[in-house]
Structure 1
Amino acid sequence: MIYNMYNKNNNSGFTLVEILVAMAIFVTSITAMTTIFSYSNKSQRVTETISEVQSDARFAMEVMAQQIRRGSIDYSSSEYGGTISSNPQDVLVLLDADDNQVWFRRYISEGHGVAQLSYDGITWVDLTPPDVNVDLLKFYLSPSTDPFGANPSVNIQPKVTIVMATKSNQAAGENIPSTFLQTTISSRKYAR
C-alpha cells in the first residue's frame, strides 16, 4: 500500500513513443531483409542463366570440334573455291570420314542468331536452343590451300579456330554479360 500511495500513476504498458520506435525498427529490418532476399534471388537467376548459356555454347562448340577432328576442311567447296582467300569465314564446310560435307554457320532466326549444322548445305538444324543468342560465330581456317592436294604448297596440318559469343535471350531487364569462347582444333586426318 505504501508503494501505491507514493506512485499513484502506475502505468505498466508502453508509451506511444516506445511503440513507434519499435515499429520503425521492425519495419526497417523487414525491409532490409526483403531487399537482401530479392537481390540474392536475382543474383541466383543471373548466375543460373549464365551457366545455362555457357553450357549450351560449349555443347555447340564441342559438336563442331568433333567434326573438325574427325574430318578435314573442304577446300573444294563452293564456299571457298579451292583457296581460303581471307579469314574469318562465316561458314565452315568440312568433309567427314566418308567424304560427306558437313556445314556450320550462324543464322539469324526470329531476330536472334543461332549456330546451325547441315549435312547437305540445304537442310539446317539448330545447335543452340532458342533462348541462346549467338552474337558471333567466325571460323579462321589454316592453311589457305589444301595440304592434301596433288602438289601441296604447304606442309601444315589443317586447323580451324572457332570464335563464338553468346548471350541469353531470356534475361529481360537484367544485365547479363556475353559468353566468349574460342578454340583451335586440328584435323586428325592424315592423307599423305
Structure 2
Amino acid sequence: MKKILNKKGFTLIEMMVAMAIFVMFLGVLIGSYTDIVKSQQEANDYRVLYSEARRVFDKITEEVRNGAIYYKNIDYRSDNQSLVLISMDGDRHVVFEYDEDEENIWFGEDILEEQIRKQTDYLLISPDNDRISVTEFNVFVSPVDDPYKLENTFNDGLQFQPKVTVFATFEMERRKGGTPYSVDLQTTVSSRSYSTLPTIDIVTSFDFN
C-alpha cells in the first residue's frame, strides 16, 4: 500500500493573522497616501495665496515708484487705509482704497474730486479667488507732510525722501474648514519725486455704498 502524505496548509488562525497584517499594512499605506495628498494640497493653496498677495503688492509698489505721494487734504500722521499717488507731471493719479466691509482693495485711476464717486469707478485688485480675502490693510507715509513745499523748506523733520510702507494680511479659507491660511506682507518703497508737484483736487475720501 502506498502511504498518503499529508500536505500542511494554512490554518484558519494563520490566515486570520495574515489578513490582519495585510489590512494593517493597507491602512498605513492609505493613511500615508492621504497625508501626502493633503500636504500637497495645502502647499499648493499656500502657494496660490502668497502668489496672489505678491501680485497686489507688486501693483502698489509699481505705482509708488512711478509716481509721488499726494499730500493735499490727507492726514498721514497715523496709519491710513488708502493711498493716493500722482504722476510727476500731474496728468495722472491713482487711488488704492481698502474696503473693510468687503475685505477688498480697490484701485481707481484719474477720478477727480468733482466727479460722483461710484464703486464702478474702481477696479478690484484684491486676489482673484473667492476663498482669499484681505483682513488688514494699512499704509504709513513718511514724512507726514510734503517736504518740497516752500513752507516746509526749513523743517528738518520733513526733509527726507518720501516713502510708503504698506502692510497687509491675506487669508485663504481651507477647503474643509478650520483656521484659514494666513500670510502677512510688508514693504517700504521710496518715491522718485524730487520736487513739488502740481496741485489738483482729486478724491481723498471714499464711499463704496
Q: Which consecutive residues of structure 2, in runs of 5 or more, have no partner in the other structure? A: 112-116, 197-209
1:92 partner amino acid:
L
Q: Which residue of 1 aligns with 2:136?
A: 136
Q: How does 1:7-156 map to 2 (within 5 A)?
A: 10-77=6-73, 80=74, 83-84=75-76, 86-99=77-90, 100-108=92-100, 112-119=102-109, 120=111, 122=118, 123-127=121-125, 128-129=127-128, 130-152=130-152, 153=155, 154-156=158-160
* Structure 1 vs Structure 2 CA RMSD: 2.0
Q: List gaps (5 residues or longer) in structure 1.
A: none
TM-score, with structure 1 as normaliser: 0.85
| Equivalent pairs, count | 181
Larger radius of gyration: 1
Aligned to 2:201: none
CA contact (8 A) 1:114 1:132 kept: no
How far, CA to CA, are the matches of 2:22 and 2:89 in structure 1? 73
Question: Does 2:188 match 1:184?
Answer: yes
Preserved contact between residue 50 and residue 176 of structure 1 (Cα < 8 Å): no
Aligned-partner Cα distance in 2 for 1:96–1:168: 34
Change (3 A) 1:191 1:53: same
Q: Does 1:171 align with 2:163?
A: no
Give aligned-pair identity as a percent. Answer: 28
Partner Cα separation in structure 1 for residue 149 and residue 170 of structure 2: 36
